[in-house]
Amino acid sequence: MFSELKPLPTDPILGLMAAYKKDTNPNKIDLGVGVYKDEQGHTPVLKAVKKAEAFRLENETTKSYIGLAGNLDYCDKMEKLLLGNEHPALLANRIRTAQAPGGTGALRVAAEFIKRCNTDATVWVTTPTWANHISLFEAAGLTVKEYPYYDYENKGLLFDEMIEALKQVPKGDIVLLHACCHNPSGMDLNAEQWQIVAELAKDSGFTPLVDIAYQGFGSGLEEDAQGLRLLAATVDEMLICSSCSKNFGLYRERIGACSFIAKDAVVADVANSVLLSVVRSIYSMPPAHGADIVNTILGSEELTQEWHQELAEMRDRINGLRSLLKDSLNAKGTSQDFSFIERQNGMFSFLGIDKAQIDRLREEYSIYIVGSSRVNVAGVSKDNIAYFADAVATVLK
């Protein structure tokens, strides 16, 4: 059986990771992998996380299963983190949540749940979107189509084109939206644009699926959730896939959540039974460690305050690097204006350079960027920015 298999191409980002590790150039820079890095190029464990882990180690009393939905206290706190304590959907008991193994696991659960709800549903994603979105939904047997989003030429949004495309989405289809810090473009909707999308969803009957993987990395925990909260206050039904990998720095703990909002509490209970059936058929029970860490932090005023401070430091560093990147690249007098970098949010941005230039950066300077020219801004530091800017300016000549 196995001898009949054909090798599949390596994921481009995983391939970059392997090549970067083998590179012996002391000046090498990794701008491909989408993880937060500090000034030393390290992805640190947050102090609040360390304290929560110590508390768990001291107080954990069992290794028994935690149930299909996972840690229910964690689920409750995640709902409040996403929506705020007084959101109408929460007060009306219309939301249900299942802990999931990372944001990716949450999306796969959502995909299978969508398939149970409507076998003919099409999932519409932004052009471009996180590459794994498409494979996750197709693996569940769903059709995936794209709608216009990022304007590569002008480094902005194709909002009018986006709305015209969404007007054609049939009732019962799913429209995936990035809550904040759009991956891979860094371009986000503003409050007015979110309102337009919400009203269109209500009138047209498509179901929003909001992927929120970077809450707190854009403008702040509350600000980054405003579009999600507006949608939840407008439509009868929606899905939310969240991740704690970035804002809690819990990448390898694989902790996220799949939530949905239903028309009322009765419908929510019925739908929740289907959601848990999906969980049972994929991985049965989620792991405990990551959820316990998040639950401990959000359940402690002291740890929450410390987490907020650490999150603000990460966010401020990213935003500062955006300004530094813009200034350093523009100072080189290149024909391309890089001011757009400062107008975007989160860790990612497209440099807007071509494949030949990307190859030169890797081959001549050991600067690793994915083929789309998407860069992880957090991979830059004050120590390597001059080297990076000189290299980009050289390949652009």
Task: Please provide the DSSP assignment of 349-397 as one string.
Answer: EE----HHHHHHHHHHH-EE--TT-EEEGGG--TTTHHHHHHHHHHHH-
Cα(126)–Cα(148) distance, integer angstroms = 6
DSSP code at position 169: P
User: Residues 30, 246, 292, 307: which is the catalytic one?
Assistant: 246
With contact defined as beta carbons under 8 Å apart, do 316 and 310 qualify? no
Going by C-beta distance under 8 Å and a sequence separation of 6 or more, which residues neighbour residue 12? 131, 370, 371
Which among 30, 124, 130, 292 is annotated as catalytic?
Answer: 130
CA distance 273 to 320: 45
C-beta separation of 303 from 358 below 8 A = no
115 is catalytic: no
Contact at 8 Å (CB) between 198 and 204?
Answer: no
Instruction: Give dist(CA 79, CA 12) in Å, integer.
Output: 34
Say which residues have a Cβ less than 8 Å from residue 91's Cβ, sequence separation at least 6: none
How far is residue 248's CA from residue 358's CA, in Å, rounded to a whole number?
A: 31
**CA distances from residue 139 to 78, 107, 115, 153, 254 in whole angstroms, order as listed:** 27, 11, 11, 32, 20
Own/partner contacts of 313-319, CB < 8 Å, gap of 24 or more, are: 314/36, 314/217, 315/216, 315/217, 315/218, 315/219, 315/220, 317/38, 317/39, 317/378, 318/36, 318/217, 318/346, 318/347, 318/377, 318/378
76 included as an active-site residue: no
Residue type, 370: V
- How far apart (Å, rounded) are the C-alpha atoms in residues 187 and 346? 9
246 is catalytic: yes
Q: For residues 199 and 170, what is the distance between their CA atoms, to the nearest angstrom? A: 15
Contact status, residue 133 vs residue 126, Cβ threshold 8 Å: no
- The helix (run of H) or strand (run of E) holding residue 3 is none
CA distance 205 to 176: 14
Helix axes 47-59, 289-298, angle to 10 degrees: 110
Of the candidates 30, 173, 211, 292, the residue annotated as catalytic is 211
Catalytic residues: 130, 211, 246
